[in-house]
Amino acid sequence: MIRAFILTICVLVLPWHSARAEIQEIKTPAGFTIWLMEDHSLPLIAAYMVFRGSGLAYDPSGKEGRGNMAAALLMEGAGDMDDAAFNAALEEYAIRMNVGVDDDTLQATLQTLTTNKSKAFAMLADILIRPRFDGEAIDRTRRKIETILHEQATSPYYKLSRAWQEMNYPGHPYGRLGLGDAATLKELEREDFQHYTTRYLTKENIIISVVGDVNKEEITRLVDEHFSAMPDHYQPDSKVVDTVFPSVADTIFISHDMPQTLIKVGLPGIARSDPDFIAAYILNHIIGGSGLGSRLADAIRIKRGLTYSISTGLNPKTHANEWIGMFSTRSGKAEEAVEVFKNILQEVAEHGVTAEELADAKSFLTSSYILNLSSNEEIASYLSMIQFHHLGMGYLKTRNDLMNAVALEDIRRVSQRLILPAHLRMVMVGKSL
Amino acid sequence: MRRASAAWLLCLIALSVTTPACADVGQTIETFTLDNGMKVIVLPNHRVPAVNHMLWFYVGAADDPVGKSGLAHYHEHLMFKGSPAFASGEYVRQLQKHGGEHNAFTGYDTTSYYVTIAKEHLPLVMQLEADRLRGLTVSEAEAEKEKDVVVEERRQRIDNSPAAQLAEQMNAAMFLNHPYQRPMIGWQHEMQGLTLSDARDFHAKYYHPGNAVLIVSGDITADELRPLAKKYYGALPAHTTPERHWLQEPPHLAERHVTLRHQYVNQPAFTRSYKAPSVHMSDKPTAISLVVLSHLLGGGKNSVLYQSLVVEQKLAAAVDVSYNFYAYGFSEFTISIVPEKGISLEKIEQALDKQLANFIKQGVDEAALARTKRMMQAEAMYAREGLTSTSNIMGWIIMAGMEPQDFNRWPEMIEAATASHIMQAAHNLLQPTASVTGYLLPEETP
């Protein structure tokens, strides 16, 4: 009977083979929205659930580390199973389940064999709605995080990323240590984690994507049966305000005795919703996003042998946008490498890119589109990204058209707007420049 | 151009396997051999109109000549620098243009080169790959620059990291005579002496069709691939490759302890490696028993060591066990433990030894074994999804000296590892004299 209520808003045909041709948007009777892509070629299902506004930046002041620790604890016992029973059941039913958290969101992923789907979705619902937060598990998890904090304190990569956060997001939650510190961790209690799950993991802010051997009637039933007890309303403790990545040049050098100097550079980026995002994406690909073929790799690695890896990328977050680059070079060569880096940016800022570079980049990005969308999990994750950024169901199909529509003038306009070498912000960690 | 790293090996172990209780994995596997000796394996998977093309060579860092460690890896880098029909940079540019993702891996035993690309561009890929089997055309100047790059790679991977430095030293202590004692990426002083002529000699010696296995997975069948393989690879002349005569290990008589102290180590870490048989050095049942053993001891939160050291005794924050069955020579079975803050490595070592002794005495918990097997068997079905995971796993299976059909037999091989097989394998493995123990410690405070 439930089936009669399913409203399939939209069906979209994709360049995949017929087996995985359609994306369906399902509104369930219990009020969930599910994006489903059916594929019955293997007896496997992947699900990806994302909660907006539930990431590390949303921990209230004084409770830094709450979201990270809660996320770790979700997999330490749920429903009527303690941690040992829960993990035994995952093995017993060959279920893969993971919880991750970043600045903006908490994500739960699931992979199951079709035969065990009911158990798998029941267990996923348990961790999100009925986590136990047993005392032993809390203490153990707290000690683990303390150990991680202790371990990373002397890592050059940690020093780099802490300096980066503090330099670019002072006073904003993006500038805090997301794992918390010894003082905040000590204060976190069971009630804090319960508070977190009931207010942050809710029907109002969940995004659900499912791909694989399941049809819309089945997935509707599975989600409504197991997840309907999820709290309705998202009630965050505090609001996170938008901020901007500073557009003033600055450099921090941190002394760390090792053979290479690590270098992270950045500029203000561009929002995912900006009409020029796609042009910026292509521009980034040409400058430093395409591995060995990029301008930066050519100049710094291939021509000068100064680095093994160099890459750049756009990092659009909910409350700020960055364009960042990372590379490392032997001590004594950092200044030279940075100089070359800036010169490449200057060239792009002044002259844009060539028609051939643009054509090649478009060709690569459009032809390689499907390569990373071959497994259920990859597709589920991609559908979640589209939902998260409100790009609309049509994006899957129009993405390549949007790429192809980008002209040299678009690239020039975006270069002039984004590629501002005089504003470059930089953190270096090493023995010497 | 990554080396096969520990994570890579772990990933394979994690990926290698199927469905509950011995169901067939059901992957179609087609094989043929070209007249010049190149073996070809086709793994049809029609989920997306793309293919993964992977060339595996029976040559790796263990084949580096004495005094020239790092040559196999350096040569792999130079393979991207031009071939008779394609100028320097053209390989990368052609793939960029046609949307191909590519990379290469150098391991001790094998070197592999892969491209994932839309199906219609497969002939281009085969043309590029076949051409670089004809020789390296890189200039001296470019080859010198690339040497700087591989040395930077070494600094980035090893010299920046105390944990990686310790792993390298432990490896050298593990193998007394075998070429596995040298780092895959090479010792820096030897890397700096490598020349283009070394790389050319290496190419002429090992890069022949008969020393390669081509694996293509994705939207293709053997009938479609055969004419292309004949056209591009079939035109290469057959050529013999020298047999491997690696130096062999003498008996291991002493337990080895290696300690690395470093000013940037805050949190001590413990590692114990045992010399272990691989499929090639023993047989499938022994090696598969060790794969299951590695899961039982350290695969997740229900494992013996996690339960004992992390949950019950509250001594450790993390436990990991790794083992790869596909080494051509001896493999290693490695237990890594991060102690909780304030717990000494001596205490961890005592607790580990006690727990391992208990395990040998008490044997396998049958319920835990059944659960572990179910998860491991399902992994093969999960692995069938991805475009690259199937060809990767097939590559390791072949390089291990196993049969292509063993891909589909994984669940039954796992099922066949009984408690008594596993305990026998564990007993043979856990010999102190065949072990190296590593301590990663902060600098001593004066």
Do the chains contact at B100 and A147, CB–CB below 8 Å?
A: no
Residue A151 to residue B152, Cβ atoms within 8 A: no
Instruction: Return d(Cα A214, Cα A36) in angstroms, integer.
Output: 9
pLDDT at position B131, please? 97
Length of chain A: 433
DSSP H helical segments within B155-221, as ranges? 162-174, 188-191, 196-206
Q: How far is B378 from chain A (nearest CA, A)?
A: 6
pTM metric for this prediction: 0.92
Among A241-250, A364-373, A422-431, B302-311, the range scoring the smallest mean pLDDT is A364-373
Residue of A nearest to B157 (CA): A308
pLDDT bracket for residue B380 (50, 70, 90): confident
Looking at residue A22, what is its pLDDT?
Answer: 82
Work out the angle between the directed axes of helices A135-152 and A190-200 (0-180°, nearest 10): 90
d(CA A131, CA A125): 9
Other Cβ atoms less than 10 A from the Cβ of A248: the count is: 8
User: Please, what is the average pLDDT of chain B?
Assistant: 92
Q: What is the mean pLDDT of chain A?
A: 93
Q: Give the pLDDT confidence score for residue A291 in this predicted structure.
A: 85
Q: How many CB pairs under 8 A join A and B?
A: 202
CA B67 from centroid of its chain's CA atoms: 23
Interface residue of B382, B390, B391 to substitute, partner A, most A CBs within 10 Å: B382
- For residue B23, what pLDDT is reported? 55
The residue among B185, B301, B320 with the most chain A CBs within 10 A of its CB, best to mutate, is B301
B374/chain A closest Cα distance in angstroms: 6
Degrees (nearest 5) of the Cα angle B35, B41, B44? Answer: 135
CB contact under 8 A, B314 and A17: no
Q: What residue type is A287 in one-letter code?
A: I
Whether the per-residue pLDDT at B22 is higher than 60: the answer is no
**Phi-psi group of B7: left, alpha or beta (phi > 0 → left; psi -120 to 50 → alpha; rest → beta):** alpha
In this prediction, residue A2 has a pLDDT band, given cuts at 50, 70 and 90, of very low
pLDDT at A21 over 80: no
Mean pLDDT of A130-148: 96
Q: How far is the C-alpha of B417 from the C-alpha of B419, rounded, in Å?
A: 7
Question: CA-to-CA distance for A294 and A297, rounded, in angstroms?
Answer: 5
Cα distance between residue B213 and residue A107, in whole Å: 40
Distance from CA of B225 to the nearest CA of A (A): 20
Does residue A349 carry a pLDDT above 70? Answer: yes
What digits encode the pLDDT tens for the residues B209-240?
Answer: 999 999 999 999 999 999 999 999 999 999 99
User: Among A105, A82, A87, A84, which Cα is nearest to A97's?
Assistant: A87
CB-based contact A20 B47, cutoff 8 Å: yes
pLDDT above 80: residue A1? no
Q: How many other C-beta atoms can be found within 10 angstroms of the C-beta atom of residue A107?
A: 20
Report how far residue A221's alpha carbon sits from residue A5's, in angstroms, rounded to the nearest whole number.
11
**Residue B321 contacts residue B303 (beta carbons within 8 Å):** yes
E strand or H helix at B322: strand B316-323
Distance, CA of A36 to CA of B46 (rounded, Å): 20
Burial B81-110 (b: 16+ CB within 10 A, else e): bbbeebebbbbbebbbbbbbbbebbbbbbb
User: What percent of chain B lies above the pLDDT cut of 70?
Assistant: 94
Given pLDDT bands bounded at 50, 70 and 90, which one contains residue B445?
Answer: confident
- Both structure tokens of A287: 């400058």
Asked about B90 being catalytic, the answer comes back as: no
Mutate which of A367, A376, A377, A381 to test chain B, going by most B C-beta atoms within 10 A? A367
Which tokens in the block code for residue A239?
């609001």
Hey, which residues does B276 pair with through a beta bridge? Answer: B331
Closest CB to A370: pick one of B48, B121, B375: B48
Q: Looking at beta carbons, which residues of chain B come within 8 Å of A430?
A: none
Partners of residue A151 in chain B, C-beta under 8 Å: 266-267, 338
> With 0-12 CB in 10 A as exposed, 13-18 as middle and 19+ as buried, what is B181?
middle
Assess contact for B199 and B78: CB atoms under 8 A: yes
With bands split at pLDDT 50, 70 and 90, how would you rate the model's confidence at A380?
very high
Average pLDDT over every residue of B167-179: 97
B15 pLDDT above the threshold of 50: no
Question: Considering CB atoms only, which of A91, A155, A291 is closest to B372?
Answer: A91
d(CA A73, CA A340): 46
Amino acid at B365: D
Is 80 exceeded by the pLDDT of residue A186?
yes
Phi-psi region of B363 (alpha: psi -120 to 50; beta: other; left: phi over 0): left
Instruction: Give B428 to chain A, closest Cα distance, Å.
Output: 27
Alpha carbons B329 and B352: distance in angstroms, whole number = 27
CA distance B310 to B94: 51
The answer to whether the Cβ–Cβ distance between A260 and B145 falls below 8 Å is: no
Q: Residue A323's beta-bridge partner residues?
A: A267, A314
Q: How far is A313 from chain B (nearest CA, A)?
A: 17
Residue A229 vs residues A29, A107, A424: alpha-carbon distances, Å: 13, 19, 49
Whole-number Å distance between alpha carbons of B130 and B126: 6
Q: Say which of A308, A367, A377 has its CB closest to residue B99.
A: A367
- Place B387 in a pLDDT band, splitting at 50, 70 and 90: confident
Model confidence at B18, in pLDDT bands (50, 70, 90)?
A: very low
Query: First and final CA of chain B: distance in angstroms?
Result: 43
Residue range A216-242: mean pLDDT, rounded? 97
* pLDDT tens, position by position, A258-312: 999 999 999 999 999 999 999 999 999 999 998 888 999 999 999 999 999 999 9
Q: Would you state the pLDDT for residue B206?
A: 98
**Considering only CA atoms, which of B218, B239, B262, B203 is closest in space to residue B100?**
B218
Q: Given this model, what pLDDT does residue A214 score?
A: 97
Q: Are A375 and B92 inside 8 Å of each other by CB?
A: no
How far does A392 lie from chain B, in Å, by closest CA?
23
Of A15, A43, A154, the CB nearest to B264: A154
SS3 helix, strand, coil % of chain A, rounded to 5? 45, 20, 30
Q: What residue in B sits closest to A365 (Cα-Cα)?
A: B99
A42–B92 C-beta distance less than 8 A: no
| CB within 8 Å: B317 and A42 | no
Nearest to B47 among A17, A140, A330 (CB): A17
What average pLDDT does range B116-126 have in this prediction?
Answer: 97
Residue type, B129: E
ipTM of the complex: 0.90
In a mutational test of the B interface, the residue from A159, A374, A399, A400 whose CB has the highest number of chain B CBs within 10 Å is A374
Q: Which residues of B touch A143 (CB under 8 A)?
A: 314, 317, 340-341
